Amino acid sequence: MPVPKKLGFHFLWPPGGTSMKTVGLCVRVGCVVLMAGSQLWAAIIANYQGDYRNGAVGQTRPEVYADGWDYMWNSAGPIGTATNYTSLKATGSSYNLDGGSPLPRAEPAAYVYLGSSGGHPGRGSTQSGGVGNTIDRYAIAAYTIQPGEAGHVYLANGSIYVASGSSNGVEVRVYVNDTLKLTKLQLGAAPTGYFGAYLGQLNVGDKVFVAVGPNTHDGSDGFSNFQFLLAQPADVGDRWWDADGTAPVDGGTGPWNTTSPLWADAPSGGTYGTWSNTANMTAHFTGTAGTVTLGEPITARALGFYSDGYQIAGSQSLTLTSAGTGTLGPATIHVENAGQTATISAPIAGTAGLTKTGAGTLILANSGNTYTGTTWITGGTLRLGAD
């Protein structure tokens, strides 16, 4: 029988803080920030306001600063396709269509610009602008993951404010490459809105786009208090499965027990060790998918799958807990991308419930599951195979 959906929306509160507060309902895939109250960042790899630099007039950000940042707009087509984006040019104090002043510039860019802590989107889909415009034009802050920055990445401490009550609101969209991770509508004259998302395990060259659009009409859409961080979590119990026990981490088939040193403490390899049933660890499965067979009862805080086709098998139990910390939430099973499937055929136990996250499909294939508590689905599909 279908599992009831219970949707929760969480973010760090207060902005910049570390405690977690439930604030409402989220009905879009990717709008959950699952950070424990004691979560610490190992590194802030990008900081919109902190990294902002004024450029030479008429030049793009990458032409002056080779640090991964670019300021853009979707000149050639709809948002969500990176090939449609064009770099904005510096005015000396902000970035707009061509580096000229005053605003507006040529249609349909019009008022589009980004500055040190705010900006304005371009024309909306309901505004022809004299050029037959039929799509929303977004101001886009873009960041490319640099060497040494690959790994699990969160967008954290995002904020935006629209002062005018005449605005029908702006839409914030977050993409990794062309994959949508979050959407948020921020209304005019409403309190400052906050946003954040787990972006996934990113590689060097992956691009994060934080785009602000006019919600069909750009009247009075100037926004301020615009900020976000891209951050990597500290080692708080995350381990990466590697069946051959040597770097690089490349997944595969093998036994899951507490005696084999098949678990790396970093996605690139790092230090290898054994699994601990008392440390409330989070298990991440990447690389080549395989069958991972429980050779004894295993206890884990969470499991994350980032390749299609993994199976957790065996007759021993997998107990999910609410203790510990990590990049995934308590008692969570995460399947990263749409089109990816992970199967748990081992019996699942525990009293912490189960939270399914990510856009992929999780199959619970064992009829002997004994876990109790609430089953949450915040993204993708949860399918019951034998239950």
Residue 26 has pLDDT above 70, yes or no: no
Give the rounded distance of the alpha carbon of 201 from its chain centre.
9
d(CA 309, CA 318): 19
Query: What pLDDT is stored for residue 237 in this prediction?
Result: 87
Domain 41-233 of CATH type 3.40.1350: no
d(CA 276, CA 273): 9
Q: Choose among 10, 6, 14, 5: nearest CA to 31.
A: 10
Q: Other CB atoms closer than 10 Å to residue 324's CB: what's the count?
A: 18
Residue 22 has pLDDT above 50, yes or no: no
Helix (H, G, I), strand (E, B) or coil at 324: coil
The mean per-residue pLDDT over the stretch 70-86 comes to 98
Residue 72 in tokens? 């853009």
Residue 148 has pLDDT above 90, yes or no: no
d(CA 332, CA 339): 19
Query: What pLDDT is stored for residue 225 in this prediction?
Result: 97
Residue 187 in tokens? 């209304």
pTM > 0.75:
no
Instruction: Dihedral sign for Cα 89, 95, 101, 104, please.
Output: positive
SS3 track for 133-173:
CCCCCCEEEEEECCCCCCEEEEEEEEEEEECCCCCCCEEEE
> So where are the chain's domains?
41-233, 238-384
Peptide bond into 248 cis (omega under 30): yes
Residue length, the chain? 387
How do residues 261-292 score in pLDDT, each as one tens digit?
999 988 878 789 999 999 999 999 999 999 99
How do residues 216-254 score in pLDDT, each as one tens digit?
999 999 999 999 999 987 766 899 999 999 989 999 999
Residue 17 has pLDDT above 50, yes or no: no
Instruction: Dihedral sign for Cα 233, 152, 74, 337, please.
Output: negative
Alpha helical stretches, state H, 91-228:
none
